[in-house]
Chain A
């Protein structure tokens, strides 16, 4: 961070980072402090629901996101997310609150009792975007104490980080490089493979376990064929599906914040 100004962000951890993915959260926080920013947890945040409500007339399912967005605005901060699902849901709801008058009116009617009126004022940033756009890859590189030299790492974006591209605006949805740049910054070598931005099967474990099993096998085999030693992800459900369906694949799947903390802390 060139100006050496310490920035505080509002932070939405989400349900999984408080439970099954505590390392994703813990490593993010310690790395943030090492890099000169603080993640201040949104008070009384509520679960985002895991998937963005695609139906145009859904209102109640968007309220938890709006409450977090309004809380960040009132604190004067941008809102940072880490989990791919939280990021996708909150960023898309924020877009609705910027562009869809009907949703804005209905949501704000609901939230009157909480004295909240929100119109999309908050900027939503994924932790990776903070690294790229605020901290800068060069600063990350300069902070690395233990470079992950020699490791060949495949970036697994999955579906939620990048799409829909016109709303998420994180990177080119078909030819992304933010995770590859991250991998380079921590001293490892990125491995590009074609299924890096295709879905792992997600919540269909509740419908038919063979769907994530087949998806995961294909993704792991593709990454392995291209020479990856491990995969890195921001999504707890991707990690779960890939690990559960690993079969005889040798690839480990880790959170990007674990690599970051390993390299800089």
Chain B
């Protein structure tokens, strides 16, 4: 990807997230408190650092976009109000809004649900895994 394209994507991520990664003081609390830490390739503090330094290409294809739980733990506990989950969401938006192949296709849903699963799970997955 050209550097100029990456710079545009970085601007888009910063604008969509409303996050200022320069406020980060690298304490690591976001990743330390992340309940999905073991399921993430890049962790919340890495999102902050990689967006700030423009190392964005690896973030566009990482499974971490889909294993973030949006549980607001890193948002609540960041002592500098950087709010890393908003960056994860903004990167996910950049990817999902391309309307390429959706991460979750509707026709695959019946195979993934069981009779007890609450509707809440399906609507949340639709909001997170497709656009």
Contacts and interface: CB of A to CB of B under 8 A. Distances in A.
A211 B127 contact: no
Given A49-B127, A56-B18, A201 B116 contact: no
B117 to A, nearest CB: 6
A164 B112 CA distance: 30
B89 interface: yes
B118 A21 contact: yes
A199 interface: yes
Interface string A149-169: 000000000011001110000
Interface of B: 15-18, 35-36, 38-39, 63, 66-67, 69-73, 75-76, 85-86, 89-90, 93, 104, 109, 112, 116-121, 123-129
Contacts of A27: none
Interface of A: 14-16, 19-21, 47, 49-57, 61, 83, 85, 159-160, 163-165, 173-174, 198-199, 201-208, 210-211, 214-215, 235-237, 239-240, 243-244
Q: Is the interface of B mostly helix, strand, loop or mixed?
A: helix
Nearest to B112: A206
B93 A203 contact: no
A207 B67 contact: yes
A54 B85 contact: yes
A50 B15 contact: no
Contacts of B123: 15, 47, 49-50
Contacts, number: 135
| Top 8 A-B pairs, shortest CB-CB distance | A50-B124, A199-B71, A159-B71, A163-B72, A203-B124, A236-B118, A54-B89, A206-B125
29 contacts: A15-B120, A16-B118, A20-B116, A50-B124, A50-B126, A56-B16, A56-B17, A57-B15, A159-B69, A159-B73, A160-B72, A163-B71, A163-B72, A173-B76, A174-B76, A198-B73, A199-B35, A199-B69, A199-B71, A201-B69, A202-B121, A203-B124, A203-B125, A203-B128, A207-B66, A211-B36, A211-B69, A237-B121, A239-B118
B124 to A, nearest CB: 3
Contact of B86 (A54, A173, A214, A239): A54
B120 A236 contact: yes
B119 A16 contact: yes
Contacts of B126: 50
